[in-house]
Amino acid sequence: MPVTLIYCLLFAAPLANPAVDYYDPRVGGGSLLDKSSGLGEPLNVIISGKSSPEVLTQKGFLQFAQAIGFQQECLGLHQGAAQTANLGDGRGDVPELAVIRQDFNLPGLGTCIESLVGGNHFRIFPQTGPNANSGALFLAVSREADLAHHHTIAKNGYNLGRDGLVASALHPHRIHGRTYSTTVTEIQGLLTAGANGINHGIAQDGVVKLLTVTVK
């Protein structure tokens, strides 16, 4: 076969990029802290871009969240301004996609209880911009105090929130005819441990948990 024909066959169309877990936001000028009141909350859980494709859609991820004990906010209501994050994907600061709250195994009512008594919650930021389109979902997870304490983050709430979500996700869950299986990898070095730049001055340990979710 002539060399010129071989060249044309190889380069006539670009090869599809293989799936990646995520792109480091810092490479593209982003951060592992979102933006809130001049400070930030750690993006301490990442849903891998190697997860089943449906989990990386808004509808599919919300269904996974329901399976592990979380729902959208009480009556769809949200107080306070949306937080933003720059994931280094070429879009700059982008508002959170949603805030998801623990439902205490009471669908339709549990998130209202969480709003009153406190509990686990997280914000979702997808990495889907043109410069780093991994499809990964970056989550800012924390445990918050009750309404009487104005929903401030609980003591050690960033670590506790992250670990609580991961614990909920790790054993198989079934909902709406789908079974979700999750594996976890611990990542060091994306976040700096401590309270520097962290909202509410609450220290965190610098660990990010990477979750790969498979649907069957």
Answer yes or no: is 162 within a domain: yes
Residue 113 has what pLDDT?
A: 62
Residue 166 lies in a domain: yes
Count of domains forming the chain: 1
Residue 51 lies in a domain: yes
In a domain, 5, yes or no: no
CB atoms closer than 10 angstroms to residue 128: 18
Q: How far is Cα 32 from Cα 42, in angstroms, rounded to an integer? A: 6
In a domain, 117, yes or no: yes
Single out the residue of 145, 205, 175, 189 nearest to residue 55, CA to CA. 175
Per-residue pLDDT tens digits for 36-69: 878 999 999 999 999 999 999 999 999 999 999 9
16 found inside a domain: no
Q: Is residue 94 included in any domain, yes or no?
A: yes
Domain interval for residue 97: 26-215
Residue 21 covered by a domain = no
pTM for this model (two decimals): 0.86
